[in-house]
């Protein structure tokens, strides 16, 4: 089923660098062309998509308990806050929390504070919702690797109160040392202390979440490039024990020994993926669906935005640019299906949108960020 929307969204835009007297109003709207793009989305019967808000290069998202949506950014160095002041499920007020940061993709929220991860730094903005027009940043750490290659972060607080921070490999494929944190996921206290490597052999995860029943961490991993259109698969992984090694750079997708680094290795010595998602789909910010709005069959399924990869001769095929659903049982994926597609025009091999992150809202609807069109969509079930 397809839907066509022509929306005009009023925004009040506030910058943390401007005094309140300089606040000005603006209009954010979909053009006719953008409305037709949105109409191309295909989803199961009964689901409905509309625009929640728009920010440039919308990436990682986190919602405060009081309903402020914070959005990270990879391309222009900014962090945003959006509010829905009239409770119509569309953002009407936009704040610019920070500017000129280095790939501030990662954001998290805890005890009234917003945490923002640059490539090598972590900032904390205390009492952020009381200071949206005058935020103050405290530096938590500045000693992680500075490499921009896979340097952007996806951060999240786990059920144990720890902050989890991935550090991507600084390459397509290479060997790294544990003491650099490369190709790993680390945990730490909220103040940056008591660091521990919890997962190794992780090339580049830009999404991690926790199982709503078991509490185990699940995460996506983007497979290596330059082995052809159809290999290796990107991964959905489950961390069942601290320190597990997921194979990079020696074994890919639990099946394929690397032609350079896999000599004298065996994939049996590494933790296999919970599910292989397909080559070059570029899975990012996954979430378990824990809401009550969607039909009961969706409960606890994993929703995965597949961003799509540059490393394929043609985008069409098993290449992402959609939302997928994975059903898991006993820690293993047992079923994979497409949930939302249409970001890719297969006939022209062009994309108008690329999904990045997912949030499950209190009412059971979900938000989807799209960094190419700069849009945050709200998906509901009628």
HEC states along 346-377?
CCCCEECCCEEEEEECCCCCEEEEECCCCEEE
Average pLDDT, the chain: 90
Q: For 36, which DSSP code? A: H
For residues 243-254, average pLDDT: 98
Q: Which two tokens stand for residue 165?
A: 């921070």
Which residues contact residue 46 at a Cβ distance below 8 angstroms, ignoring those fewer than 6 apart? 1, 295, 381, 382
Tokens 């405060």: give the residue.
Answer: 64
**Using one digit for the tens of pLDDT, what is the confidence trace for 317-355?**
557 899 999 999 999 999 999 999 999 888 888 889 999
Q: Which pairing describes strands 93-98 and 8-15: parallel, antiparallel, or unpaired?
A: parallel
Alpha carbons within 13 angstroms on the beta-carbon side of residue 71 total 32
Cα(9)–Cα(13) distance, integer angstroms: 12
Residue 1's pLDDT is: 39
Provide the token pair at 122: 């972590």
Q: Among 40, 54, 53, 30, which Cα is nearest to 341's?
A: 40
Over residues 211-236, mean pLDDT: 93
Place of tokens 């920070």: 98
Q: Are 201 and 248 in contact (CB under 8 A)?
A: yes
Task: For residue 7, name the pLDDT band (cuts at 50, 70, 90).
Answer: very low
Burial bucket for residue 326 (CB in 10 Å: 0-12, 13-18, 19+) = buried
Hey, CA dihedral for 345, 349, 351, 354, is it positive or negative? positive
Q: Strands, DSSP E only, in 195-321?
A: 196-200, 208-210, 217-221, 233-239, 244-245, 251-252, 256-257, 275-279, 287-288, 302-306
The pLDDT of residue 313: 67
Q: What is the mean pLDDT of residues 346-366?
A: 93
pLDDT band at 179 (very low <50, low <70, confident <90, very high): confident
Pick the CATH number of 8-381 from 3.30.420.40, 2.120.10.30, 1.10.1040.50, 3.60.20.10: 2.120.10.30
Neighbouring residues of 88: CB distance < 8 A, sequence distance ≥ 6: none
Nearest to 120 by CA among 110, 109, 137, 106: 106
pTM as predicted: 0.92
* Residue pLDDT, tens place only, 134-148: 999 999 999 999 999
């Amino acid at each position: 089923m397809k839907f066509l929307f022509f929306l005009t969204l009023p925004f009040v835009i506030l910058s943390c660098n401007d005094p309140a007297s300089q606040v000005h109003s603006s209009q954010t709207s979909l053009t006719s062309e953008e409305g037709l793009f949105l109409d191309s989305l295909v989803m199961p019967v009964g689901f409905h998509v509309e625009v929640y808000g728009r920010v440039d290069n919308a990436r990682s998202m986190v919602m405060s308990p009081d309903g402020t949506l914070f959005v990270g950014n990879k391309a222009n160095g900014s962090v945003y806050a959006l509010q829905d002041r009239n409770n119509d499920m569309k953002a009407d007020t936009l704040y610019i929390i920070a500017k000129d940061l280095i790939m501030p993709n990662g954001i998290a929220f805890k005890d009234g504070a917003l945490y923002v991860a640059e490539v090598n730094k972590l900032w904390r903005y205390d009492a952020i919702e009381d200071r949206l027009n005058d935020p103050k940043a405290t530096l938590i750490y500045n000693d992680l690797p500075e490499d921009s290659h896979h340097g952007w972060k996806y951060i999240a607080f786990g059920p144990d109160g720890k902050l989890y921070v991935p550090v991507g490999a600084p390459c397509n494929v290479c060997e790294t040392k544990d003491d650099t944190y490369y190709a790993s996921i680390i945990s730490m206290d909220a103040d940056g202390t008591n660091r521990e490597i919890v997962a190794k052999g992780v090339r580049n995860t830009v999404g991690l979440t926790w199982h709503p029943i078991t509490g185990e961490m699940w995460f996506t991993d983007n497979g290596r490039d330059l082995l052809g259109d159809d290999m290796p698969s990107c991964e959905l992984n489950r961390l069942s024990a601290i320190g597990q090694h997921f194979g990079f750079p020696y074994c890919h997708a639990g099946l394929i020994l690397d032609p350079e680094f896999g000599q004298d290795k065996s994939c049996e010595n590494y933790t296999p993926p919970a599910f292989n998602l397909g080559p070059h789909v570029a899975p990012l910010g996954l979430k378990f669906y824990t809401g009550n709005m969607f039909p009961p069959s969706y409960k606890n399924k994993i929703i995965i935005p597949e961003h799509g990869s540059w490393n394929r001769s043609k985008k069409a095929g098993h290449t992402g640019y959609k939302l997928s659903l994975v059903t898991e049982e006993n820690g293993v994926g047992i079923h994979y299906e497409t949930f939302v597609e249409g970001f890719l025009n297969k006939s022209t091999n062009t994309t108008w949108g690329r999904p990045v992150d997912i949030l499950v809202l209190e009412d059971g609807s979900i938000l989807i960020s799209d960094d190419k069109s700069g849009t945050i969509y709200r998906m509901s079930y009628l």
